[in-house]
Structure 1
Amino acid sequence: MNVRKIVTLIDETAREGGRPVNPAARVAVVAAVIENPWGNQPFVEDLSEGIQDNASDLGALLAPRVIEALGAPVEAYGKAAIVGLDGEIEHGSALIHTLQFGDHFRKAAEATTLLPAVEKRGRAGVTFDIPLKHKTDATIRSHHQSIEVRIPDAPHPGEIVVALAAAAQGRPQQRLAPLSSEK
């Protein structure tokens, strides 16, 4: 795994809907900008070697960092893979849609649900939204949220941005009824 940089973002919302949010709603994102392990090659039919060489190491690198950056117990989480223009969306998906990657975050967050994800291809500075859901019950509406991310100089054409996001709570001032209340 060739990491060019790691970016950490913290978002704290202190007011929402004209009212204070106390404590402030906190979301953390940690992203690694890596060299695409399948870059500079013709079409690769079997991606398993690149997955084995990179997915677990990426999960082990990012999971403790995003939890530390959050500074509170994780309640909601999500992931992203943004592939540079010379790669395939499947390259990003191959890294993040594996137990080798995701289980590091699930274990560290004491979570059981699947990690919601976004994958896309884009130029350096592309904006992407990471979806988050509750870590143990994906039907809890208050925790369905997203965070917008942009890294000005990534991904380069031969890179992939792999990111994890964690929230310490649901949406600020959420007031939707539980999903189970609908008929």
Structure 2
Amino acid sequence: MPEFPIRKTMILLEDIHHEGGPPPAAPRQRGAILALVKNPYAGGYVAQLQGGMDDLKPLGLMLTDRLIAAMGGRAGIDGYGKAAMAGAAGESEHAALWHVPGGYAMRERLGEAKAIVPSAMKVGGMGARIDIPLGHINAAYVRSHFDAMEVGIPDGPRPDELLLALAMSRGPRVHDRMGGLAARDVKGEDGLR
């Protein structure tokens, strides 16, 4: 059973009050939580990795709970996404270990979340940044919630680490006006509409 000890975590919160136009009724909030963990697969090729996803599930739940708390609770959170970055001694497939534990933790804690959790994976060096894609939690076709949050930790990931990240949001992009399915019209049946 591989172990993924945590070296550090970071929480980022932002409230967007306007983007050059009139202020919205309520600011848009985006939040992210990041963890730097040891990558037990770094430094060589390992054929079987899938067991590592189960080992990361408790971390996914813990990070989800901490991010929801930092954002003031579950109410109104209607967007989410995840990302992972392997350090230079790792590979993108190591970052892909985050798909199940990151995505399912948020879906479990946020309740009736139906849409796929958008994700990004890559390999990067110390201080590299990654965009966490965001989408509506119940309908992938809600254009007003297509967004991204750029994150990184200055001293990571080290070559033998993974940077694991979750993001959530409240509300549409400020001044969204690209049409498409409106959040108020979501049926939430299939994760698309």
TM-score, normalised relative to structure 2: 0.86
* Higher-strand-fraction structure: 1
Distance in 2 (alpha carbons) for counterparts of 1:146 and 1:101: 16
Equivalent residue for 1:46?
Answer: 48
Distance in 1 (alpha carbons) for counterparts of 2:62 and 2:110: 14
Distance in 2 (alpha carbons) for counterparts of 1:140 and 1:10: 23
Matches within 5 A, 1:78-157: 78-93=81-96, 95-98=97-100, 100-110=101-111, 111-157=113-159
Paired positions, count: 176
Aligned residue identity for 1:8: I
Structure 2 residues not aligned, in runs of 5+:
183-193
Deviation at 1:13, TM superposition (A): 0.9
Deviation at 1:8, TM superposition (A): 0.2
Deviates more, 1:154-163 or 1:13-22: 13-22
Q: Deviations over 1:121-160 (max 9, x none)?
A: 1111112111000000010100111111121111111100
2:176 equivalent among 174, 177, 180: 174
Distance in 2 (alpha carbons) for counterparts of 1:172 and 1:101: 26
Equivalent residue for 1:20?
Answer: 23
Structure 1 residues not aligned, in runs of 5+:
none
Runs (4+) off by over 6 Å:
none
Matched residues, percent identical? 36
Deviates more, 1:26-35 or 1:108-117: 108-117
Matches within 5 A, 1:54-69: 55-69=56-70
Deviation at 1:11, TM superposition (A): 1.2
Equivalent residue for 1:29?
Answer: 32
Aligned residue identity for 1:66: L
Deviates more, 1:11-20 or 1:118-127: 11-20
Alignment root-mean-square deviation, CA: 1.5
Deviates more, 1:69-78 or 1:145-154: 69-78
Distance in 1 (alpha carbons) for counterparts of 2:80 and 2:132: 9
TM-score, normalised relative to structure 1: 0.90
Deviation at 1:179, TM superposition (A): 4.8
Q: 8 Å contact 2:21–2:175 — kept in the other structure? A: no
1:4 equivalent among 3, 7, 14: 7
Q: Deviations over 1:19-40 (max 9, x none)?
A: 2233111100001110012124
Distance in 2 (alpha carbons) for counterparts of 1:107 and 1:73: 16
